[in-house]
Amino acid sequence: MRISLRLILLLFIGVTLVSLFFARSQVKAQKRGLRADLERRADVLADSLQETIEPMMQNDASKDLQRVLERFGNRERLSGVAIYDLQGKSIAMTLGLTGKLNGVPNTVALAISKNEGCGEFVNLGSTYTHIFALPLHQKGTIAGAMVLLHNADYILAQSDAIWRDAFIRVLVQTLLISLITLLIVRWSVVNPISKTAQWMRELRTRGSHSPLDLPEGELFKPLMREATHLVQSLSAARATAQEEARLREASESLWTSERLRVHVRNTLQTRPMIVVSNREPYMHVHRGNSIEVIVPASGLVTALEPILRACEGTWIAHGSGDADREVVDSRDRLRVPPEEPQYALRRVWLTREEEEGYYYGFANEGLWPLCHIAHTRPTFRSSDWEDYQAANQKFARAVLEEMKDTHDPFLLIQDYHFALLPRLVKKERPDARVAIFWHIPWPNPQAFSICPWQRELLDGLLGADLIGFHIQSHCNYFLETVDQTMESRIDWEHFGVSRLGHMTLVKPFPISVAYSEPATPLPDAFSGDRFALIKELGLEATYLGVGVDRVDYTKGILERLRAVERFLDKYPAYRGKFTFVQIGAPSRTHIKRYHDLQAEVEAEAERINWRFETSRWKPVVFLNKHHSHEEIEPYYRAADVCLVTSLHDGMNLVAKEFVAARNDEQGVLILSQFAGASRELQDALAINPYDTEQLAEAIRFSLEMDSVEKTERMRRMRRIVKEHNVYRWAANLITALSEIRLEPTATGTVAGAGRT
């Protein structure tokens, strides 16, 4: 209440001062207008009298002059008229001026000297008067002057009236504005703030998750944003604390983000942590006249952010947002996350040609199909190789700059984009602990030998102290490739490679997803009702299947669509009842193979729909756009079956995301035997994606599976994902790297020497 009164008082004073300022301007303008009008009337009257009086002065007719003056002297607001000769002697004067004029007015001498009319406003006694003098002539020479005096009190009276009216108007307006403002403040500001305070009190005391209802608009948008962050942070903190307490009570050892944070701090102590990836965790893009922050959909962000947050490290990535350069400092760095900065993001700039050759060319048209045995021929160009080398060298320079003046730094390199980076860094900083995690499969030695620069790639990778893959078979293939290609010694007992006096360990680290149980949805979270989802799509169906992928030829999207078609052919009873939703994010579309695949998937979906669809149902819905995790999760929770049919995959986190989302312990996962996740999720229905009949039967079996069996299978898979979550993956990787013993070399520096 005190704040409102202070606001009203300040508003009252402000409005009053502004209104009085404009009233003063109005009075001055009005006064100038009235004076100008009076001056104009005096000038016109003097001119008319001049024509009459000048002939009389020549004839020396004083009595006639007096009569003329008396006749004119009774005009409205005219106080009188006087005529003076050159010596200032009065020749004639109206009776009303007798005794009022003390001497000759100054305007007489001024008018005679200038030979033109002159006027001024003066106070004669208590009367505000306008005096106008006009020279009179005889035979072409100045013989005297005529003076007209007008009563100008009405000008002051009208000015006073304007001031009085303005004051009353200002008073009324100010009171009305203050009253309206008070009502608006109470309705638009005070009440929402009171609601916010009440909501925060309930959140603090009872943990309520009821939505915060604030008016829309720019005023409350920052408050809504911060309130949302608050509820998320508080919910996460409470969930973490409850989970930690539950784990202590149950004597379980589950990895959480907080436990990872403590582990990383204890392991690294004060040593810096640097992460390198092609994709950045936060992008800045232009949206109209503003800059917006985007979090790219990436498992890397989920996996690595807890590490960076824990040690306040540095993440080095390619700056790909069109506004990225506008927000960094002189060292191309900024603090992230934007709402709660905890670590540094260092951006590396690549030219369009370098990005085309290094990323789209060598990495995704060369290494990607080479490592994924999916019957797409890899393309290797010498120009792409040169761009790949140049990009790795740029990132190496950025890494070395971040390592400057630090001791024993930790470096985590991510994926096949940076095969050369470990050697480039280790050559300059042998004291650094360097690990690279290869997120895609490693092919057999014969397949890898296709690459013209296989030796250079292997040499670059073996600069690392630790190389991680998803599964053991990828580690085995890598060691076999090194054994057949490079001069080295393979330690099969400890899975290491000794080359040039340096030991590189090769280990499996199955990546996973974050896991929370029980899930604590936001107030507006979708319930996972399949019927509501299907209704949103404008369809009617009883059963729902889902697939979530980038549109990539390794994901087996065409194979699963054909299996859906075969399933409906074999089991027509499910026509009109089963709808399969394929969420397919466009990917690398300007690469011809990906562009062609996009068209193939759309055409295949249309062909199948043309065969089976009715007015209210169709078998396939292809949602061809990027979806956030929040948008995808309702499909996970609502689906009867999730199809993961990768033709070859390192891990495939979609399978684990689906399992983690099923708090109801229902739903069936159909999982390709060629995905790394199939090694862990053995309660999924394992299939060969090339076997259309088997995949169609798996769909039927999943829809007809007993609810008890579904629960048992899902419960076992959820336990695996829960225990082997992304935090455990990160902790194992950090622990393995920290345990590597670095020993002095001949030059006095240190190099990897194996395990402790």
Interval 352-396: pLDDT, tens: 999 999 999 999 999 999 999 877 899 999 999 999 999 999 999
| pLDDT confidence of residue 70 | 73
Pairing of strands 578-585, 343-348: unpaired
Spell out the domains of the chain, with CATH numbers in brackets. Answer: 2-157 (3.30.450.20), 266-347+389-514+728-756 (3.40.50.2000), 530-724 (3.40.50.2000)
| pLDDT confidence of residue 518 | 52
Peptide bond before residue 337 is cis, with ω within 30 degrees of 0: yes
Judged against a pLDDT cut of 60, whether residue 673 lies above it is answered with: yes
Least confident of 92-96, 115-119, 342-346, 702-706: 92-96
**Local structure of 146: helix, strand or coil:** strand
Tokens encoding 397 = 């320079």
| CA pair distance 655, 416, nearest whole angstrom | 22
> Please, which residues have CB within 8 angstroms of residue 500's CB and are 6 or more apart in sequence?
none
> Please, which residues have CB within 8 angstroms of residue 661's CB and are 6 or more apart in sequence?
519, 633, 636, 637
Per cent of the chain over pLDDT 90 is 47
* Backbone phi, psi, residue 288, to 5°: 70, -125
Judged against a pLDDT cut of 90, whether residue 488 lies above it is answered with: yes
**Local structure of 229: helix, strand or coil:** helix
Q: Does the CA dihedral 359-362-368-369 come out positive or negative? A: positive
Average pLDDT, rounded, for the chain:
85
| pLDDT confidence of residue 591 | 87
Closest to 400 (Cα-Cα) out of 418, 424, 419, 420: 424
CA distances from 109 to 34, 113, 141, 146, 426 (A): 26, 6, 15, 11, 102
| pLDDT confidence of residue 203 | 63
Can you give the pTM of this predicted structure? 0.70
User: CA Rg, the chain, in Å?
Assistant: 45
Instruction: Please count the residues of the chain.
Output: 756
Secondary element (H or E) of residue 638: helix 629-638
| pLDDT confidence of residue 581 | 96
Mean pLDDT along residues 163-184: 78
Residue with the bigger pLDDT between 571 and 159: it is: 571
| pLDDT confidence of residue 520 | 43
Label residue 736 exposed, middle or buried (CB < 10 Å: 0-12, 13-18, 19+).
middle
Peptide bond before residue 369 is cis, with ω within 30 degrees of 0: no
In this predicted model, what pLDDT tens digit does every residue of 385-402 receive, in sequence order? 999 999 999 999 999 999
**Local structure of 157: helix, strand or coil:** helix
Q: How many C-alpha atoms does 504 have within 13 Å on its Cβ side?
A: 28
Q: How many C-alpha atoms does 325 have within 13 Å on its Cβ side?
A: 3
Residue with the bigger pLDDT between 185 and 453: it is: 453
Closest to 138 (Cα-Cα) out of 42, 43, 45, 61: 61
| pLDDT confidence of residue 24 | 80
**Local structure of 7: helix, strand or coil:** helix
Q: How many other β-carbons are positioned within 10 Å of the β-carbon of residue 163?
A: 15
Q: Does the CA dihedral 306-312-313-317 come out positive or negative? A: positive
Mean pLDDT along residues 210-236: 61
| CA pair distance 240, 501, nearest whole angstrom | 45
Amino acid of residue 186:
R
| CA pair distance 29, 36, nearest whole angstrom | 11
| pLDDT confidence of residue 159 | 82
In this predicted model, what pLDDT tens digit does every residue of 512-555 receive, in sequence order? 988 876 544 433 333 446 788 888 888 889 999 999 998 999 99
- What is the pLDDT confidence band of residue 746, given thresholds at 50, 70 and 90? very low
Closest to 554 (Cα-Cα) out of 494, 597, 511: 597
- What is the pLDDT confidence band of residue 207, given thresholds at 50, 70 and 90? low
Contact status, residue 578 vs residue 619, Cβ threshold 8 Å: yes
| pLDDT confidence of residue 521 | 43
